[in-house]
Amino acid sequence: MSEINVTPFVDVMLVLLIIFMVAAPLLTVGVPVELPETAAQALPSEQEEPLTITLSADGVIMVQTTEVAAAELIGKLRAVATERDSDKIFLRADGAIPYERVAQVMGALNAAGFNNIGLVTDTGGPSLDGQGG
């Protein structure tokens, strides 16, 4: 037989594709928080890994997965800003956090040189256009 049977190869590749599709969302950096739901669309992705600040329900501030004291936040972010090309930063805040605390952290991000702040939410929230949720 002089032909190559590609059916087993295609089957293996499809199984690997499914495995990577399931595993890829689990590889993202994250701290468990209950994000508020909104009707906003997702932002387009960038080349550089996004810098993420997380405010958990118990008030802990995390830069990526590292816990940072509130007094040290601006200094650490200034050090990070010198190594990055983009001033884009994502802020994830638990829905139970008071808005005042979120605004304070946003002010600290601005003071550290990050002027392009994206608020991370879950999709599927109320659209507030009178047509239901």
Domain edges within the chain = 51-121
The pLDDT value recorded for residue 82 is 84
Q: What is the mean pLDDT of residues 128-133?
A: 64
Confidence check: pLDDT of 11 > 60? yes
The label of the residue with tokens 């802020």 reads 91
Instruction: Round the CA-based radius of gyration of the chain to a whole number and report it.
Output: 20
Residue 12 in 3-state DSSP? helix
Nearest to 32 by CA among 73, 90, 93: 93
Taking the domain 51-121, which CATH number applies?
Answer: 3.30.420.270
Higher pLDDT, 128 or 82: 82
d(CA 13, CA 38): 37
